[in-house]
Structure 1
Amino acid sequence: MQCLFPKTLNPQFFLRSFNNTRSKAFTVRSMSSGSRMFQLKVDPLTGNSEWVVIEEDEASGDATKQLLANTSYLDMFNDTRRNKAYREAIEKTITKPCHVLDIGAGTGLLSMMAARAMDHGDSAESSGSKGMVTACESYLPMVKLMRKVLHANGMHRKIRIINKRSDELEVGVDMPSRADVLVSEILDSELLGEGLIPTLQHAHDQLLVDNPKTVPYRATVYGQLVESTDLWKLHDLYNTEKEVLDEIRLVPEGMDSAICVKRQQFSMHCDALEEDIKLLSEPFKVFDFDFWRRPDSHRVTKLSVQATDTGAVHAIISWWSLQLDEKGTIFYSTAPKWISCPSSVEGFNSSISWSQNWCDHWKQCVWFIPKKGLSLLKDEEVSLLAVHTDTSISYEMKTLSQNLELEQSELSAQKYQITLLPEKIALYSDVNWRCSMLKAIKNAMKQKTPSLCVVVDDSIFLAVALAHLAKGSHVLSLFPGLQEKGALYLQAVATANGYSKDHVEVQKMSELLTSQSSLEKQIDLLVGEPFYYGNNSVLPWQNLRFWKDRSLLDSILSEGAVIMPCKGLFKACAMSLPDLWHSHQCLQHVEGFDHSVVNSTLGACGGSPPGQENPTLPFSVWQCGKSKKMSDIVTIMEFNFLKTISPCSGKAKVEFITHGKCHGFVLWIEWVMDAEESIVLSTGPEQRYWKQGVKLLKEPVAVGSHRSATTDCHSADIETSFDPSTGDLIVEYAFL
């Protein structure tokens, strides 16, 4: 892991930067106290966060293990194509003793490959000279894990570990001399997001000899124009909302960018969308990045792309290819499955397999084309402008008659503009979801004409819908994440949605509790989706913050106040998830190096000690490769939001309905919006707008239905318990 953080402690900077790192913690150096790690600790039920200092002797505790289990290290080490490509390239590049620098060393895999290559080099014995490997790793828990791995492989005397960022290294202090060879893997799905360019710049300026050897040697970014209704719905709320027949307008006429996605690339498993994707061009090369020379911070390239079919360009799908060796015989690609190999790679060896085993640490990237996309005729030329900065790549495109790119100055001038994740944009234009929400609100208002309505979460839709429908009520949104930005937005869209600006306001929870204690007006209607702005990768039960917030407001609820949702149903389904399970299976030998010591810390499936369970992790199941339901859906327990938050537990028997291998249980919450349970909104695996919790088994279990005459397991008991003091939910199971 390599992450270039500033030397001053600025939590807001770190929060933004963490989107592009493999782990949500960082290490700083102190002259007086050695290495310390600052870990961001977030209370899922309050949203409160704080930076906690973890001393070196605490870096292997349970909290750190949970943190490491949520990283992509395990998935990365199970990527056999990646590991083999690096090993072969290192063996071809390092043929004699030299000084090797490994930046972002992780467990030390590449460092060990380099040390072994020097031991086996042609001239190592005859020359009598000794090489050395400097392993640079900034993340303290990973440094501790690396030491264990090096000891297990007898490599601890051959590799010098430096617990610093690479831009903190000094020749003559941390390194005796400049390095002859650089090996590194500091790449994200976009290629640049982990700080590749500034890392290489500093390395070439301060740490490497002139004309060094590097592994990888070069990276090439490719793109392809596509039409996809699913991708269009993920960003264009203005036009998709026009197809909805209700009277709510989250993005009114003339305010088409009031709610939008960030102008950035989004990582995504595009193979999961293949049936909805129509290719409108051949793949085209965008940028080359040479590791063996100092890169530029900023480049612009103009491309002319010919349409291969008629359609509307909704997005540019991009990926990258690594040329790992100088001669160009070893490659690795993150291309989608429909790409066999980049046709523009010179000297490409057709014998190299480009078929992919599913992995989650690298995906494809999607750049959305604004509005309804760019209409093209077959053979029409598209002018494409690609720009890269230190950390990202962006695009502008046009034909001779069209230019769809929004002016950046126009976007920044709109103080009320709110950026949401693509999944939330798509949800807000979903006809069925909106219809259910509006029906629930109308049913609630029939029970009791509300004087005061409170939206406890960051639901923009509910705030606007309530203000529109409850004309005689006062609507108050807590907007814990949106705050002032949300207030400006509600004021901006008031006229278009038929409510007065003084009809709705935004207030903090603390202010509401203080002000209402002296007022007679109490809350008659309390609602939530639930949705909390900034909770992008959380487990389903971490949205039970809604229950916590409702409980805090209990004293100022009126008699007979309506709570929506009124109940949460905790659901489970046994599933076959072979790709996801194999990407998290326990490690033994990775390209000849024993990694079994990392399994427990990284939460690997299989091989774990008795009593130690794999952590439950958040995933969008529809993007997890092959999947199949192995059982009916069962309800394990209920969360009663009509009462204040309390511990709860439940148990259910899962009956298997088909024969095959079960790899785990998928868990989610269905939100019951009304007392009659006529409106129930699911966040299950068939939905694309939410993440589910996935409890992977230690080992896959052969299962079958009772009708099958096999010795396979026919059922399983699954038991859960929820602790509101910590927000933790424990899942236990037993196959019968």
Structure 2
Amino acid sequence: MDIDKPAALRATFADVPRWHFGMLNDSVRNRQYRNAIAKKLPGLDVLDLGMGTGLLSMFAVRVGARHVYGCERNPAISSIATEIVRANGEASRVTVLGRSSHDLRIEQDIPKRLGGLVTELMDCGMVGEGLLTSVSHARRHLLQDNARIIPEQIEIEFCLIQSEQIFNNNHVEHVDDIDLSTFNRYATPGYFPVRLRAWPFRYLSGRKSALRFDLERGEITAREELHEITATQPGIAHGIAFWFRAQLAPGIELSNDPQESTHWAQAIHCLERPQQVSRGETIELRIATDLSKIEFTLSDRSSKHA
């Protein structure tokens, strides 16, 4: 009966996050990916990780890739991707695989190890959508040794910021004379997305790079780094803002740097306790990733003057 149809549609809508529309209409993202694909993937059989609507897959075949095998584990999205690919006349050159790339098998799902890979599994903090684990798995199990990969390199850039308003998006203390601080038990322990330009904030340091991965040829393994960052002005450090910078192909970059106009927000990691800093003071940060999340912690050796 028709009475069931709205419920089914609501369930489908819930499975498709709204950010897909902003992503698909992101002209900077689309241009940079299209240019990188044209530079690296013609003549290759390609794996598209997290293909979504199939846009990048169709970019690839239209600039000369032989065939693209696109993985999309979200059933609602893989279903509509099949329709979109067919509607655009590319069903003979783009195969939609409705499963995770971790479940693919040579000969069963793809005919052989493939010569190229394209993916845009980057969230605001680089790792949250499984970029590193998925590319690592594909290199070991699905790709040729000399496969071309987009993006070929990626890293984060980070800085100290002051913003009580952003900090209060993840913490609460008192409202009037009522103590609500116990609710901080549910504060996000890692990073969360914030569009920096939408909130009052101050940079308390310059930016530094960390966690650089060579996705095409280097090791993709968990790591821990120590970085010193120096306050360029006095203030209260509420957290670390960071974003990714990806080299899609030689000379072609993409970033969610707050100065760039892309659909991505930036990532914020709040300090457990805001920290007063003075100009010239050096903070030592431990930055660690297990490939699925990124954590920042203050070193015991922090708070020294340059």
Q: What residue in structure 2 maps to residue 103 of structure 1?
A: 49
Structure 1 residues 83-162: aligned runs within 5 Å: 83-95=30-42, 97-118=43-64, 131-162=66-97
Closer, same or farther in 2 for the Cα pair 1:289/1:249, shift >3 Å?
same
Letter in 1 for 2:261: Q
Closer, same or farther in 2 for the Cα pair 1:257/1:279, shift >3 Å?
same
Whole-angstrom distance in 1 between the partners of 2:15 and 2:68: 25
Q: What residue in structure 2 maps to residue 317 of structure 1?
A: 241
Closer, same or farther in 2 for the Cα pair 1:296/1:330, shift >3 Å?
closer
Whole-angstrom distance in 2 between the partners of 1:140 and 1:214: 25
Closer, same or farther in 2 for the Cα pair 1:189/1:211, shift >3 Å?
same
Gaps (5+ residues) in structure 2? none
Q: What residue in structure 2 maps to residue 382 of structure 1?
A: 283
TM-score by length of 1: 0.39
Match of 2:20 among 73, 80, 99: 73
Match of 2:269 among 359, 362, 367: 367
Closer, same or farther in 2 for the Cα pair 1:266/1:152, shift >3 Å?
same
| Secondary structure in structure 1 of the residue aligned to 2:63 | helix
Closer, same or farther in 2 for the Cα pair 1:107/1:379, shift >3 Å?
same
Cα pair 2:68 2:94 within 8 Å, conserved: yes
Asked whether 1:233 is paired with 2:168, we answer: yes
The percent identity for this pair of structures is 27
Match of 1:224 among 159, 167, 172: 159
| Secondary structure in structure 2 of the residue aligned to 1:167 | helix
CA offsets per residue over residues 264-292 of structure 1, 9 Å max, x none? 1011111111xx31211001112112221
CA offsets per residue over residues 24-48 of structure 1, 9 Å max, x none? xxxxxxxxxxxxxxxxxxxxxxxxx
Q: What residue in structure 2 maps to residue 185 of structure 1?
A: 120
| Secondary structure in structure 2 of the residue aligned to 1:220 | strand
Higher RCO (CA < 8 A, seq sep 6+):
2
CA offsets per residue over residues 126-182 of structure 1, 9 Å max, x none? xxxxx2221222222222212222222211111222222101101121111101000
CA offsets per residue over residues 624-672 of structure 1, 9 Å max, x none? xxxxxxxxxxxxxxxxxxxxxxxxxxxxxxxxxxxxxxxxxxxxxxxxx
TM-score by length of 2: 0.89
Whole-angstrom distance in 1 between the partners of 2:79 and 2:167: 45
Closer, same or farther in 2 for the Cα pair 1:206/1:377, shift >3 Å?
same
Whole-angstrom distance in 2 between the partners of 1:106 and 1:260: 31
Q: What residue in structure 2 maps to residue 335 of structure 1?
A: 257
Closer, same or farther in 2 for the Cα pair 1:245/1:89, shift >3 Å?
closer
| Secondary structure in structure 2 of the residue aligned to 1:315 | strand
Whole-angstrom distance in 2 between the partners of 1:228 and 1:385: 21
Gaps (5+ residues) in structure 1? 1-57, 120-130, 338-354, 404-736
Q: What residue in structure 2 maps to residue 442 of structure 1?
A: none
CA offsets per residue over residues 46-75 of structure 1, 9 Å max, x none? xxxxxxxxxxxx9xx623553356432222
Cα pair 1:381 1:399 within 8 Å, conserved: no
Q: What residue in structure 1 maps to residue 204 of structure 2?
A: 280
Q: Which protein has the bigger strand share?
A: 2
Alpha-carbon deviation of 1:260?
Answer: 5.4
| Secondary structure in structure 2 of the residue aligned to 1:296 | coil
Alpha-carbon deviation of 1:257?
Answer: 8.6
Q: Which structure has the larger Rg?
A: 1
Alpha-carbon deviation of 1:378?
Answer: 0.8
Question: RMSD across aligned C-alpha pairs, in angstroms?
Answer: 2.5
Q: What residue in structure 2 maps to residue 4 of structure 1?
A: none
Letter in 1 for 2:258: P
CA offsets per residue over residues 358-384 of structure 1, 9 Å max, x none? x3xx2111111122x222221121111
Structure 1 residues 407-422: aligned runs within 5 Å: none
CA offsets per residue over residues 421-467 of structure 1, 9 Å max, x none? xxxxxxxxxxxxxxxxxxxxxxxxxxxxxxxxxxxxxxxxxxxxxxx
CA offsets per residue over residues 197-248 of structure 1, 9 Å max, x none? 22112101110010310111112211110111213334454xx53xx662x4
Alpha-carbon deviation of 1:94?
Answer: 1.9
Whole-angstrom distance in 2 between the partners of 1:191 and 1:391: 9
Most deviating of 62-71 and 133-142: 62-71
Q: What residue in structure 2 maps to residue 290 of structure 1?
A: 214
CA offsets per residue over residues 557-580 of structure 1, 9 Å max, x none? xxxxxxxxxxxxxxxxxxxxxxxx
Asked whether 1:211 is paired with 2:113, we answer: no
Closer, same or farther in 2 for the Cα pair 1:393/1:250, shift >3 Å?
same
Whole-angstrom distance in 2 between the partners of 1:234 and 1:334: 20
Match of 1:397 among 289, 298, 301: 298
Structure 1 residues 246-261: aligned runs within 5 Å: 246=177, 248-251=178-181, 259=185, 261=187
